[in-house]
A and B are shown apart, each in its own frame.
Chain A
């Protein structure tokens, strides 16, 4: 069975996120407006106000409550949705960690924005880097259609009986959040059909009134360790499960994104560039150009950041003569980008080759074609044995 073609509308990434949520029919949704994601809340509220969706929208007084309300509703048995950005994510941090410990299958979209430390009303991925160890699954998407489609896939992943973990769907704030593109909006019945397998699973544990049930119980001694271990094991299962869900989505809707990572012209490449988010489109253009110049470069789009796709990435990068990683955030205390740091940790699998970290695109500075060209040229030179600098802050040297 295949889905029928949906209507194509020119909408922003924020609206795409809201449409994705609408199509999954959440029981309860919350959000506290913050630039650049406020439009997600507004769009969802308009869906509710116009009767397009029967969701209980809770207008909370801050992000901490935005997360806590959906966590409570999720554990009571509901499908839930919320959205935030930057400091909003920081302000809900205790609840974010707790939601993961509760194994609440929440889906949250994040229009990525700079934070924390220096106030910047501008894009960057520092917000999600600051919560990478909170126990959430983190997917980073590249463009508007992928936002909508990934929200739908995120429910299949979060509510999977073997996973039961919350999912963050990340897209570059100010770029994807506000950029309007033609986006196919799947038909409701097709999304219902795609999510239907969740209904045939065993029911998950929910708060049952009248039952002697403690939730969020105090884990002590080995009891704590056991719960923590299960949480980590669920996360370990999530990578392969995302690959399966992505393949099922492609099969049904005709659009796929590679699951954990997406490779581009990588098979015969001698060097590789690793990107994430909206910068990937620019990198594809540069790869095509450089190929014409005879530089055998390939590209890996890092789509799943937590769990980190170790096996997939190691297999993709093994045998490359040099690797460059473009980060839209910084890794305090490591003098390199955080995603670079994690790719570098795969050295035993990839082999000892030059690895170069590029910090670019902070605070809404564009990751441009010349920036990526420069990175490719340097990684190529490093592969030929030329001296190289490990970390380059491109905006300061351009």
Chain B
């Protein structure tokens, strides 16, 4: 052992010291961050959780097919409209029966931010004992990269394509994690795959806080196909999103927001945008508008954070 060798992060223990609950060769794309999130969640929360999901990019692997599955976890396949409510019913009954199983919803933004948002909001308001994880790939990737309400301003998708007139999506993303935090959820946080220590800590906290009530985790999850990035670059894209404050990392206990990874001197948002080809059509003015929305969102979080210092 040499003195110059960097100290190994304890986060690697999750990969070396836990059982892999997935079969080899699952049907996710190379470089998919949803896959990395899906594999990481049970490593921290434990494999005896009960997962609730719905038709999505996660479904081909999580759903069973007839009697077979590609993983060894209890999984409940809901519809996109029913995830948070099905989970509420399961969690209520488990608690009634004295089972301390953690019920974990795992959906994309098409469900969490859009069609499943109402029941998500209802479950948060009722303070259900459920962990709800949204992996946000900023669009309906499973059906062919259409826009969702978390698709960012200017992104070219198959339903907001850039063209002679179109500049991509005309409105900024709906900031779902803050909306759920403002429900007064027991715990809400953002996380991404480039900052695994932060992600792991938040998952562990989620498992603690779900005893008090509703927990929401919003995972920034680039889609190599839909965003048109190189499969080897997906983690770099995550990291750049954090470094530019495009995707700030924070947590909120009972609505009290705290930034968990402040970036002392953030890089220009353009550095992030140029890595992702769904933004490649954008001109200077478009980029300035996006930078303005990023600054505004960060200022809001910073202000909320300062209330709790």
Name A residues whose Cβ lies closer than 8 Å to a Cβ of B: 27-28, 56, 58-62, 64-65, 67-78, 80, 94-95, 98, 207-221, 223-224
Contact = CB atoms under 8 A, between A and B. Distances in A.
Interface string B77-102: 11101101111111111101101010
Contacts of A98: 78-79, 82
Nearest to A66: B85
A207 B122 CA distance: 23
Given A68-B119, A209-B48, A78 B96 contact: yes
B119 A56 contact: no
Contacts of B89: 28, 58, 68-76, 78, 80
Given A56-B96, A217-B65, A69 B76 contact: no
A72 to B, nearest CB: 3
A223 B67 contact: yes
Contacts, number: 154
Nearest to A72: B89
For chain B, give the interface size range.
35 or more
Contact of B73 (A60, A73, A94, A212): A212
18 contacts: A28-B93, A61-B118, A61-B122, A68-B78, A68-B88, A68-B119, A72-B52, A72-B88, A76-B89, A95-B79, A98-B78, A209-B48, A209-B49, A209-B74, A215-B76, A216-B77, A217-B77, A218-B77
Given A59-B126, A64-B81, A68-B119, A75 B63 contact: no
Contacts of B78: 68, 98, 216
Contacts of A221: 66
Contacts of B63: 214, 217-218
A214 B77 contact: yes
A215 B51 CA distance: 10
Given A65-B122, A78-B92, A207-B50, 19 more contacts: A27-B96, A60-B126, A64-B82, A65-B84, A65-B85, A65-B88, A65-B119, A67-B85, A71-B89, A72-B87, A73-B92, A76-B90, A77-B93, A209-B48, A209-B94, A212-B72, A214-B75, A216-B76, A218-B64
B173 interface: no
B72 A76 contact: no
A71 B49 CA distance: 19
Nearest to A32: B122
A210 B87 CA distance: 16
A391 to B, nearest CB: 37
A162 B80 CA distance: 30
Interface in B23-63: 48-50, 52, 59, 63
A68 B81 contact: yes
A75 B76 contact: yes
Contact of B76 (A61, A67, A207): A207
B158 interface: no
A95 B77 CA distance: 12
Contact of B82 (A76, A80, A95, A211): A95
A211 B76 contact: no
A68 B82 contact: yes
B254 interface: no
B75 A215 contact: yes
Contacts of A78: 89, 92-93, 96
A216 B86 CA distance: 11
